[in-house]
Structure 1
Amino acid sequence: MSSVSALAQRLAVVAGFENPQVSLEQYRTPPELAARLVHDADLQGDIDGRFVIDLGTGTGMLALAAALRGPTGVVGIDIDPDPLSTARDNEGRVGTVADISWLRADATDAPLDTGERTTVVMNPPFGAQDRNEHADRAFLATAARLGDVSYSVHNAGSRAFVESFAADNEGTVTRKFRAELDLPPQFEFHAEDSHTVETEIFRIEWD
C-alpha cells in the first residue's frame, strides 16, 4: 500500500472545473484531502476488494483515488456533464487500472444497486449557498441506501448533525478526523487569493 503522500502525488495531475457552478458548490477536492480520506478507508478494509461509489464526483478526484487502491469497481456520479468529461480525461492522466464508470445522474437519487459490499465516498455540498441549506443531508441519505459504509466530508462543527442523522437512519459513526480544505478563488465574490475551510471526515456504518 502506498503512503498518503505518494497517493496525493498521483492525484496532483487531476484537473479541476473549467466552468464551476456556484449553485452546485463545485470545487476541486484537494489531492491531499482525497488521499487522506481514501488511505484511511483502505486501512479500515473499505476500498480493496470492495465496490466504491463517489457521489457528486465532479472531476473525479475521490473516485480516482479509490481506483488506485484495488476496488472491484468504481462509479463516479454527477449531475453536470461537463466535469464528467473532465473526469474521463483525468482517468487517463492518473492511469488507473480498476474499472471506472462515469454516470450522469442526480447523486441524491442515484439509479444504482450494486448487489455487493459497497463503500460510498463523497465531498458533498456544504449548503453554503441560498436555497441549498442542508444539501449534505440528501447525500447522506443516498449513502445509507447504496452502501454499508460511507466516508463523507463536512464543515467543521457538523459532528452533532452527522451523528444524529446516522442514528435516525440505522447508521453509526465509527471514525471521525479533521482535515483542511484549501479552496482557490474561482468565483467573483471571492476576495482572497485562497481560503482554507476546516472540515471533518466521518466514517459511517449503515445497517
Structure 2
Amino acid sequence: MPDPSRRTLARALETLDDFDDPSPALEQYLTPPEIAAHICHQARLQGDLEDCVVDLGTGTGMLAIAAALSGAPAVVGIDVDADALALARANAARIDEAAKHGSLEWVRGDATRPPLSFDGADSETRVTALSNPPFGAQQGNRHADRDFLETVRSIADVSYTIHNEGSQTFVESFAADTGGDVTHAFRAEFPIGKRFDFHTESETTLEAEVFRIEWS
C-alpha cells in the first residue's frame, strides 16, 4: 500500500479490533479510523513521516499502524497497559502491509514519561509525535492532555494531538508559552459507542479538535 490515499488508509484501519474490556480510568476509546487516516495523510503531505514517529498512549495501535501504512520508516507505540499493547501487536499483525512499511515497535511505559533514549530537540533524528490523549472526562484525569503535551514538547519536533472541542485557546497558549507554534487545526467527529456503565446512550458523537504543532 505505497502512499495510500486517505480513503484507502481509513478502509484498512477499519479492520482493526477495538478493546474487549476498556478501562474507564485510562479513558480507552478507539481512535476513529477516519481521524487517524486524516492525521497521517496530512502528516505525510507535510513531510512529517520521513523519520521517527512516536504514538503516545497507543491503545489499539490505530495511529501507529496508520503511520506505518503511510510510509513512516520507524514507528514506536507506547502504552502503560500491557493488554492494550497485546491488542496493538495483534492489530498490526492482521495488516501485513503494516509490517512491510518500516519498523513497528511496541513499548510498555507511561506515555507522559516515555522510556525513549533520544531528545527530539538535539538528536539528528526528526521525531513526530502522534497522540489521542485522555480528554480528562474521568475524575483524576483532569488536564491529562496537558501532561501529554508536556511530554510531546520534550521529545518531538512536530506533533499531532487530538483534544476535546473548545481546546484551541488552551493548546495555542500552551504552545506559545513553551516554544511551539500551532500551524494547522481541524475539527473531527469522534463517535463513541456505549462501553461503560455510566454511558446512558447507545452511541454519542463528540466534537474533537486536532492540532499540528511545530516545536522549537
TM-score range, shorter chain: over 0.9
Q: Is contact 1:57–1:77 with CA below 8 Å preserved after alignment?
A: yes
- Counterpart residue type for residue 124 of structure 1: P
Output one character per residue of 1:2-50: Cα deviation in whole Å (capped at 9) or x when no partner.
Answer: 2211000111111111111101100011111110111111111111x21
Percent identity for Structure 1 against Structure 2 = 53
- Name the counterpart of 2:28: 26
Secondary structure of the residue that 2:112 maps to in structure 1? helix
- Name the counterpart of 2:88: 87
The alignment status of 1:183 with 2:192, answered yes or no, reads: yes
Q: Which consecutive aligned stretches of 4+ in structure 1 deviate over 3 angstroms post-superposition?
A: none
- Name the counterpart of 2:111: 107
- Which whole-Å CA distance do the structure 1 matches of 2:201 and 2:95 have between them? 30
- Which whole-Å CA distance do the structure 1 matches of 2:71 and 2:8 have between them? 15
- Which whole-Å CA distance do the structure 2 matches of 1:4 and 1:32 have between them? 8
- Name the counterpart of 1:147: 156
- Name the counterpart of 2:202: 193
- Counterpart residue type for residue 105 of structure 1: G
- Which whole-Å CA distance do the structure 1 matches of 2:161 and 2:117 have between them? 20
- Which whole-Å CA distance do the structure 1 matches of 2:4 and 2:57 have between them? 26
Output one character per residue of 1:72-117: Cα deviation in whole Å (capped at 9) or x when no partner.
Answer: 2000000000010011100111221221110000000002134300
RMSD, aligned α-carbons: 0.9
- Name the counterpart of 1:58: 59
- Which whole-Å CA distance do the structure 2 matches of 1:131 and 1:92 have between them? 34
TM-score for the superposition, normalised by structure 1: 0.97
Cα offset for 1:193? 1.2
- Name the counterpart of 2:127: 118
Give the gaps of 5 or more residues in structure 1.
Answer: none
Q: Is contact 2:158–2:212 with CA below 8 Å preserved after alignment?
A: yes
Give the gaps of 5 or more residues in structure 2.
Answer: none
- Which whole-Å CA distance do the structure 2 matches of 1:191 and 1:127 have between them? 19
TM-score for the superposition, normalised by structure 2: 0.93
The alignment status of 1:73 with 2:74, answered yes or no, reads: yes
Cα offset for 1:177? 0.5
